[in-house]
Amino acid sequence: MKNRSKKHMKNHLSIVLIAAIMAMTALASGCKAQPKAQTVLLGTTTSVQDSGLLEYLRPFILADTGITMDIVAQGSGQVLKNAQNGDFDLVLTHSPADEKTLTDSGKGIERKEFMYNFFVIVGPANDPAVIQNTTDAPSALKKIVDSGKKFISRGDESGTNKKELKLFGTAGVDTKKLSAQVYVNAGKGMGDVLNMASETGAYTLTDKATFLSMKSSLNLSILFESDSTLKNTYSIILVNPASFQNVNKDGARLLYDWFLSAKGLDLISKYGDKEYGEKLFYLMD
Amino acid sequence: MSLDLIEIILITLAVCSASTFLGSVLGIPAGILLGMRRGDTWKLGRMLCMTMVGLPPVLAGLVVYMMLRNGGLFSGMQILFTPAAIVFAQVLIIFPIVTAGVFPSVSQKRIDITETLNGLNIHGMRRFIILLRENRPALVTSILLGFGRAISEVGAVMIVGGNILHKTRVMTTAIVLETGKGNFGQAFSLGVMLLIISFTVNFFARRMANDHV
């Protein structure tokens, strides 16, 4: 009998303990979600996030504006669709056609092209499709698929994916008619696609920033670059607070202005020198 | 261990504890109800519950996402891309798992217990507490099963949480991110840590419950 009651006491103690731990942790998570006023929900592309630019800017932004950025990284297509629905406060993307859809609908305002870099075509160092000496990016892509070598597409309606489809279009190639052996529709982010290309000895189109940030772990080389058709332009767009009342109007405006301020632009233009030995983003003229 | 990593682990534990707690608070009474009642309606309830156990987590994530976004059923809560959204999705995923873990044990002991309880004229809250006590091993297993599902979930968490650093980045989504960036070593060590946490939680939960399995 004595033993039994002792056992029960131990049970009660354990229940109280578990409840206390859960309550404490739930409280902790609740507190973290609290400060909304100084938080701006920024929808951006995987390429911007993977490049490390925003984490580099974060402390400066916090010091100057008191804003904490909550960054959600998705493909540009997805980011802009979510912005269309008012799910972000501010977006930073690189898909001009989709961006225009957003601003035309009035759900996005004050679109500003403010920085750019370049897409590059990467592949195995020995360049089996011999694209290194082609004259322009569309012919380089055409040469890869014509020679039956593998090309991996993001296939996720991201800015990079849209760019690639546009280039194939210019070259007169209908990617839907290519065999799955040649044109691989991965449906994944940039990092994953670079890993896939590296593992399978395939080619892909990537923004230079992401490639440089992952270069050391990849068996890939830049085989084609510096073509004006490969320019990759990033825009910043405010989600229209007149359309969505939940948008953090003041915070988004403050952050938008900071990005376009002399100090913001200067920091952006210097990013990459120290980390990768070359600049990752250039400012618009 | 870096500060970011510790924070990711703490967020993971906080979110998963909260969803396991809520999932159990809902799931255990539901399991006892489904186990004690007979008849076609309740039989259908048990079948539905088992179906929900097979619910693909990403579908739960998508449903919660659609409910929380602007114009959705619960858009007024304003919790999309916050830890609360993750808890929401995880509760949806583990609630049926806890329920399904509880009701078979209750069913099995139903006749004996009902006789005793009726004989002693025990009703209401006391009856419920005795049912809890009598099914303790099944309850512990179900809660741990729920916790295991919550902590290992990735698809739904990615969709509704957004993988925001310092806020909704949990261990599984961090693994996806690091793998995507080609940092396999870091991704793998996160995975090992996840396993260690899972083991520790199981070990202490079993010990506390006096379960010598």
Summarize pLDDT for B143-167 with one digit per residue, the tens: 999 999 999 999 999 999 988 888 8
Q: Quick one: DSSP state of residue A67?
A: P
Closest alpha carbon within chain B to A47: B181
Q: Residue B70 and residue A244: Cβ atoms within 8 Å?
A: yes
Best probe of the A interface among B181, B183, B201, B211, by most A CBs < 10 A, is: B181
Percent of chain B with pLDDT over 70: 98
Q: Does B204 touch chain A (CB under 8 A)?
A: no
pLDDT at B188 over 80: yes
Confidence bin at B52 (pLDDT 50/70/90): very high
Give pLDDT, residue B204. 87
Q: Which residues contact A82 (CB under 8 A, 6 or more apart)?
A: A43, A74, A88, B69
Closest alpha carbon within chain A to B143: A18
Does the interface predicted TM-score (ipTM) exceed 0.90? no
Q: Which residues contact A30 (CB under 8 A, 6 or more apart)?
A: B84
Mean pLDDT for A76-101 is 91
Q: Which residues contact A61 (CB under 8 A, 6 or more apart)?
A: A67, A69, A255, A258
Q: Residue A21 and residue B17: Cβ atoms within 8 Å?
A: yes
Mean pLDDT for B109-121 is 90
Q: Does B162 touch chain A (CB under 8 A)?
A: yes
Q: Which residues contact A181 (CB under 8 A, 6 or more apart)?
A: A148, A150
Summarize pLDDT for A186-238 with one digit per residue, the tens: 888 888 899 889 988 999 999 998 898 888 889 999 999 877 889 989 999 99
Residue-averaged pLDDT of chain B: 91
Nearest CB to B11: which of A29, A55, A246? A29
**How far B51 CA lies from chain A's nearest CA (Å)?**
28
Mean pLDDT for A120-132 is 92
Chain A residues lying within 8 Å of B11, measured CB to CB: 29, 32
Confidence bin at A157 (pLDDT 50/70/90): confident
Q: Residue A33 and residue B164: Cβ atoms within 8 Å?
A: no
Mean pLDDT for A51-74 is 91
Model's pTM, two decimal places?
A: 0.78
Mean pLDDT for B56-81 is 90
Give pLDDT, residue A12. 55
Give pLDDT, residue A34. 41
Structure tokens at A280: 């990752």
Summarize pLDDT for A15-43 with one digit per residue, the tens: 555 555 555 555 555 444 444 458 999 99
Burial (CB count <10 Å: 0-12, 13-18, 19+), residue B189: middle
Percent of chain B with pLDDT over 90: 70
CB atoms within 10 A of CB B186: 16
Mean pLDDT for A227-251 is 90
Structure tokens at B44: 């259908």
Chain B residues lying within 8 Å of A192, measured CB to CB: 179-180
- Greater confidence (A74 vs B192) lies with B192
Nearest CB to B71: which of A28, A32, A85? A85
Nearest CB to B70: which of A29, A87, A191? A87
Structure tokens at A105: 């609908």
